[in-house]
Amino acid sequence: MPRIAREMSALEVRRLTRPGFHAVGGVPGLLLQVKETGGRSWVLRIRVGGQRRAFGLGSFPEVSLAHARDQAREMRGQVRRGIDPAAERKKARERLVAERLSRMTFEEAVTRYHKNKAIEFRSAKHQRDWIASLERYAIPVIGQLSVSDIQLPHILKVLEPIWTSKTETATRVRQRIETVLSWATVSGYRLGENPARWKGNLDAVLPKPNKVRKVRNLPALPWKRANEFMQDLRTREGMGARALEFLILTASRSGEVRGARWDEIDLDVKIWTIPGERMKAGRPHRIPLSDDAVKILEALPRMRERVFPAPRGGVMSDMTITAVIRRMHEANIKAGGDGYTDPNQGHNTVTAHGFRSAFKDWARSCTAFADEVSELALAHVASDATRAAYARDELIEQREALMADWARFLAQPIEKGREAL
């Protein structure tokens, strides 16, 4: 049993400045440690399980003499009850950590998840769009709720206002909320079922997206007029016109063509390989190039890394290609033609993306190729057939023949196309 020192007053303790340990009395083993630097802190020396231990009780004067004595008495009482103060402190810290973690808000979880997964997004635009949708629709409603408290009614409060009016957006928001809450569960911030899960959960209270979604395809030129458009396009000058011509010949998306780089193209084997980070599906896509597509590339200058660069370098704007179509449409009408419109879309002017639909319709109507061949040409990989086709070397030989036939059709005289109308 340590000797009980004389009980010092608070003023006496404050005057202790000599380096070393000073017994302050009041509680056996309570000491004030004064360091050479002048810093002072409380220490309790006590035997625990037969071993002499020292416990820090905080710095002085932040922890007052009275508070230090109270802590020391409590710890000595724990020892008498057979409790290890160190183990008890560890449990207290764990409880505090658990309590803090349980208070993580949904907004904080979104930020953490987005930062941790940044490298997995297929593009900077996708990364921005992903978090922007939650910032617009979810965070204003549930952003300040703890992830551990979010339940089905909260998810419905986010989704119901947009489920029927903005179904596609609402579907993405639901998927992203589910992903964030799954991350929170795995990370230890919440327990239980995911309230944003669709199957066996939200599907019982919300109508199926395909029952309410109003599918509206982008305006496309009827495939029977595609060669007419191509003949007109080939009379146009400029990088935008060549990019559009290449886009049509390869049945590619605008962003894929505008972002094309020379190091993606192998003219010796006539293959354009688009890396996965530039593809919508997130996986590399190989496109066999027809002779007409190769001729376009061979005629282009190679002063920059982009195949179809903007005037000042970098990626060409989507509006550059759109402007080519609009000028052609207006000129065709002035010349007494019908313009380039989609009769199924209120005769709206066609879009670059619409030529993918024209290609698909042509492939189904005018060729004997299996459907998965044109699906692979369009980089559609959702069906079982196309997944199986990938296992068969992406059907490159069949697709090479398909793209050659497409190029020949586009090069036909206008009258040939009109005969099919």
Burial of 101 (0-12, 13-18, 19+ CB in 10 A): middle
- 408 pLDDT above the threshold of 80: yes
**pLDDT grade, residue 392 (50/70/90)?**
low
pLDDT at 57: 83
Half-sphere CA count of 205, side-chain side, radius 13 A: 13
For 15-36, how does the pLDDT look when each residue is reduced to its tens digit (9 = 90+)? 998 999 998 888 888 888 899 8
pLDDT at 420: 45
- Kindly list the distances between the CA atom of residue 192 and the CA atoms of 104, 252, 254, in Å, as whole numbers in the listed order: 16, 44, 44
**pLDDT grade, residue 290 (50/70/90)?**
very high
**pLDDT grade, residue 101 (50/70/90)?**
low
pLDDT at 106: 94
3-state DSSP: the chain helix, strand, coil percent, rounded to 5?
50, 10, 35
Cα three-residue angle 196-199-204, rounded to 5 degrees? 85
pLDDT at 1: 47
* Span 37-58, average pLDDT: 84
* Span 185-200, average pLDDT: 90
- Residue holding tokens 């992203």? 176
For the chain, domains (ranges, CATH) are 10-97 (3.30.160.390), 106-212 (1.10.150.130), 223-419 (1.10.443.10)
Render 192-250 in DSSP notation, one character per residue: S--TT-TTTTGGGTS--HHHH----PPP---GGGHHHHHHHHTT--SHHHHHHHHHHHH
* Span 316-335, average pLDDT: 94
**pLDDT grade, residue 5 (50/70/90)?**
confident
Rg (CA), the chain: 35
For 361-385, how does the pLDDT look when each residue is reduced to its tens digit (9 = 90+)? 999 999 999 888 999 999 886 555 5
CB 148 within 8 A of CB 102: yes
**Portion of the chain with pLDDT greater than 70, in percent:** 91
CA–CA dist 70, 85 (Å, integer): 14
CA–CA dist 329, 353 (Å, integer): 16
CB 250 within 8 A of CB 293: yes
CA–CA dist 384, 386 (Å, integer): 6
Which of 162, 205, 154 has the alpha carbon at shortest distance from 178? 154
- 389 pLDDT above the threshold of 60: no
- 358 pLDDT above the threshold of 60: yes
CB 86 within 8 A of CB 56: no
pLDDT at 87: 75
**Total count of residues recorded for the chain:** 421
Residue-averaged pLDDT of the chain: 87
For 110-148, how does the pLDDT look when each residue is reduced to its tens digit (9 = 90+)? 999 998 887 887 777 778 889 999 999 999 999 999 998
Residue 286, H or E segment: strand 285-288
CA–CA dist 276, 122 (Å, integer): 8
- 232 pLDDT above the threshold of 80: yes
CB 179 within 8 A of CB 311: no
* Span 384-394, average pLDDT: 55
CA quadruple 27, 29, 30, 31: dihedral positive or negative?
Answer: positive
* Span 162-176, average pLDDT: 91
* Span 81-86, average pLDDT: 76
- 270 pLDDT above the threshold of 90: yes
**What does DSSP say about strands 341-342 and 30-34: parallel, antiparallel, or unpaired?**
unpaired
CB 111 within 8 A of CB 147: no
- 88 pLDDT above the threshold of 90: no
* Span 93-105, average pLDDT: 68
CA–CA dist 205, 152 (Å, integer): 10
pLDDT at 51: 79
Q: Give the range with max mean pLDDT: 206-215, 258-267, 387-396.
A: 258-267
* Span 39-49, average pLDDT: 86
- 191 pLDDT above the threshold of 80: yes
- 82 pLDDT above the threshold of 80: no
